[in-house]
Amino acid sequence: MSTGELLSVDPQELNFPFELKKQICCSMRLTNKTDNHVAFKVKTTNPKKYCVRPNTGVVLPHSTCDVIVTMQAQKEAPPNMQCKDKFLLQSAVASPGASPKDITPELFNKESGNQVEEFKLKVNYVAPKRPPSPVREGSEEGSSPRASISDNGTINTTDSTTVPRVYNESHENSSETRALISKLTDEKNSAIQQSKRLQQELELLRRQGNKTSGGIPFIYVLLIGILSILLGYFLK
């Protein structure tokens, strides 16, 4: 940062990330260190090549102003990427309440007795910043090893570690699956309880039949057979 009595300029040089056939912008910040209104004007040795916005203006007391310098698209690069262009920043004390339309060339004329400061800025071409190249998976330390599924249903990683296949928990633990399991469990418990009641009733009937006729009626034998089939189905 360059510091004068009126304005401080940051940066001291204009660095453009040069690229062919592309407009490039660079900015500088002007800071008014005084209690006065300070007018400024920006000049360049190559006005057709650059566009300055604003090229003139007024910086309020203890305030800042950003100036944007745009370099027009260039068809060819200079030898050795060296640039001889320069900028000149002139500043002078303006009257209180002055606006950009009040700025005149006489304001920056030292011969008129005005307090005028001048600061020269050099232009540099620098290499543009490139985004980092993508890194292929597993090429750096700490990256996750690649995995492949073998024929035997295991997952093999590049570090020779074999881990069991992990199924989709969201599928196994879905609400529909839990509801179906709960329903089947309830039906099984109900069948078991009903089977026990039927066994008790058949046992009672068998005892009564032994007392009355000395044997078990055919209908009882049939019910016992059906009960055994149902019980075997639900207990699978």
Residue 169 lies inside a defined structural domain of this protein: no
Does residue 7 sit in the same domain as residue 102? yes
Q: What is the pLDDT of residue 214?
A: 52
End of a domain among 86, 102, 126?
A: 126
- The residue type at 55: N
Q: What is the pLDDT of residue 13?
A: 96
Q: Tell me which long-range contacts 72-75 makes (C-beta under 8 A, separation of at least 24).
A: 72/23, 72/48, 73/20, 73/21, 73/22, 73/23, 74/18, 74/20, 74/21, 75/20, 75/21
Helix/strand/coil (H/E/C) assignment for every residue in 190-208: HHHHHHHHHHHHHHHHHHH
Strand positions, DSSP E, the chain:
2-3, 7-10, 13-17, 24-32, 37-44, 50-53, 56-59, 64-71, 86-94, 116-126, 147-149, 154-157, 162-164
Give, for 186, the enclosing helix (H) or strand (E): helix 175-212
Does residue 81 sit in the same domain as residue 190? no
pLDDT tens digits along 12-58:
999 999 999 999 999 999 999 999 999 999 999 999 999 999 999 99
With a CB cutoff of 8 Å and minimum separation 6, the contacts of 148 are 155, 156
Residue 115 lies inside a defined structural domain of this protein: yes
Residue 141 lies inside a defined structural domain of this protein: no
Domain span at residue 216 reads 175-234
pLDDT tens digits along 191-236:
787 778 877 877 777 777 666 555 556 666 667 677 767 666 655 5
Residue 83 lies inside a defined structural domain of this protein: yes
Residue 143 lies inside a defined structural domain of this protein: no
Percent of the chain with pLDDT over 90: 47
Q: What is the pLDDT of residue 93?
A: 94
Distance from CA of residue 197 to its chain's centroid?
A: 66
- pLDDT confidence band for 182 (50 / 70 / 90): confident
